Amino acid sequence: MRGYILVGSETDAMPDTMDQDRLKRLMFRAHHMGSNENDILFGGFAAKYLETLTSEQAERFESLIAENDSDLFNWVTGKAEVPAVLDHDVMAMIKKFVQSEAAPI
């Protein structure tokens, strides 16, 4: 049996594969939130911006989409105040997307 040693670009590609898996998982979750409204809003945001987020922003996005569906909808549409712990750059990006780019719901 032959063993293989990964060198050069082969080892460099390994972290990207994990990142792609995470992006795919987050993209799926953003399009399957629970309500059709959030599927459209968060799925649309993810389709346009998810690949541009830093790993820290992706973590914040992941924690956001784990929140209660109706709370998320109310926060991003301005119907309720966003809790201070969730009022960060990613929430601001989503709210801006909802206000200016998302299809009306």
* 14-44 per-position pLDDT tens digit: 344 448 899 999 999 999 999 999 999 999 9
**Between residues 1 and 20, which one has the greater pLDDT?**
20
pTM of the predicted structure, to 2 decimals: 0.78
Q: Which two tokens stand for residue 40?
A: 């459209």
What was the pLDDT predicted at 7? 53
Three-state SS annotation for 15-31:
HHHHHHHHHHHHHHHHH
pLDDT of residue 12: 47
Domain boundaries 9-100, CATH class: mainly alpha
Residue 88 CB-density burial (10 A; 0-12 exposed, 13-18 middle, 19+ buried): middle
